[in-house]
Amino acid sequence: MIVDCGVYAEGERQDLPKDPETVAQAIDADGDTFGWVGLHEPTDAEMRRVQRLFNLHELAVEDALQAHQRPKVEKFGEALVVVLRTLWYVDALDAVETGQLSVFVGPRYVVTVRHGEGGELATARHQLEERASILGHGPAAVLWAICDSVVDDYETVAEQVELDVDEIETSVFSPERTSDAERIYNLKREVLEMRRAVDPLRDPIEQFAHGIPGVSPKAAPFFRDVADHLNRVSDQTEAIDTLLSSALNAHLARVSVQQNDDMRRISAWVAIAAVPTMLAGIYGMNFDNMPELRWHFGYYGILLVMAAACTTMYRFFRKAGWL
């Protein structure tokens, strides 16, 4: 659906009807204005309507509709098409969910096509409309606000994932026995989703930061700030992945140590049980000429020998740390 449409001149939003036709007519009538049309999971008919009004390239429109693209920047004539991956975190599931945001940037228009629940742009639009000095840079200012909002969401997701990593580290090194391997693996898979969104975006943002056709050189310092935040998130994501790998190795090593301890305890108890079992087996053979069979205190003597042997072995294994 079409979420919002705005026409801007000299950093101020014009009081006009919110529909794509109004935006297209306004930018045709006045060379000092530009328009911003926002769509969320549009139908094919809605997307084709906007395509006709702003002469969007067919291939870029198809990519915007499919919503399974890698982050990238492409140039079609005077227009730029920027594809971003949006991220948001579902804490109950330890899951990083992804969406797509396609941004069509022309000399006098911006069209955004969003898929998924994340990456809402209403907040970024309102904040930008309150900063006329920045909005006066035109479509480049809108592109900066969008990129800045998306990267801020990356930072929020990374912070939430870090909290779960801290919980895992605490659990792995707690005195209680825990089973953390599955959760660690799931988080590593979610971190991979983050890296697929963050890492491919670094080169395009660096291009904007150094100025490319279609983006005003005056906007370059703003994109350098976004690039700095993006690099920080990329380093943070890499560090999280390394921590998870270390936590997984530590967990597996601890499980191995616990299994060895269990085997030693089992072996110790088996050895202790073997002595009375052996004596009972010998005296259960019922031969006529076995010693102590006719001794009045033989039964009690054998029980005493069993108890003494088991006690001695128990104390030995306790001292050796097996029990």
Task: For residue range 136-156, list pLDDT tens digits in order.
Answer: 888 888 888 999 999 999 999
Q: 168 pLDDT exceeds 90?
A: no
**Given this model, what pLDDT does residue 235 score?**
92
Q: 131 pLDDT exceeds 90?
A: no
**Given this model, what pLDDT does residue 184 score?**
87
Of 111, 93, 89, 109, give the one whose Cα is nearest residue 101.
111
Degrees to nearest 5, angle at CA 96 with 93 and 97: 100
Higher confidence at residue 231 or residue 302?
A: 231
> 275: which residues sit within 8 A by CB, 6+ positions away?
306, 309, 310, 313
For tokens 């006045």, the residue is 30
Of 306, 277, 302, 281, give the one whose Cα is nearest residue 292.
302
Q: Which pair of structure tokens corresponds to residue 29?
A: 């009538």
Write out the DSSP string of 51-89: HHHHT--HHHHHHHHH--PPSEEEEETTEEEEEEEEEEE
Q: What is the mean pLDDT of the chain?
A: 84
* Helix, strand, or coil (residue 110): strand
- The mean pLDDT of 159-180, rounded to a whole number, is 85
* Helix, strand, or coil (residue 173): coil
> Cα separation of 38 and 44, whole Å?
15
* DSSP letter (8 states) at residue 107: S
pLDDT grade for 322, boundaries at 50, 70 and 90: confident
Q: Which domains does the chain have, with CATH numbers?
A: 2-254 (3.30.460.20), 256-320 (1.20.58.340)
Degrees to nearest 5, angle at CA 129 with 138 and 143: 40
- The mean pLDDT of 54-64, rounded to a whole number, is 89
Q: 320 pLDDT exceeds 80?
A: no
Percent of the chain with pLDDT over 70: 94
pLDDT digits (tens, 9 = 90+) for 253-289: 887 877 787 788 888 888 888 888 887 777 777 666 6
pLDDT digits (tens, 9 = 90+) for 183-220: 888 888 889 989 988 998 888 888 888 776 666 677 77
> Cα separation of 121 and 127, whole Å?
10
**Given this model, what pLDDT does residue 214 score?**
61
Indicate the residue type of 159.
E
Contact between residue 71 and residue 84 where contact means Cβ atoms under 8 Å apart: yes
Sheet holding 12-13: strands in order across?
Answer: 12-13, 2-9, 33-40, 109-115, 95-105, 79-90, 72-76
Indicate the residue type of 98.
T
Burial class (CB in 10 A: 0-12, 13-18, 19+), 11: middle
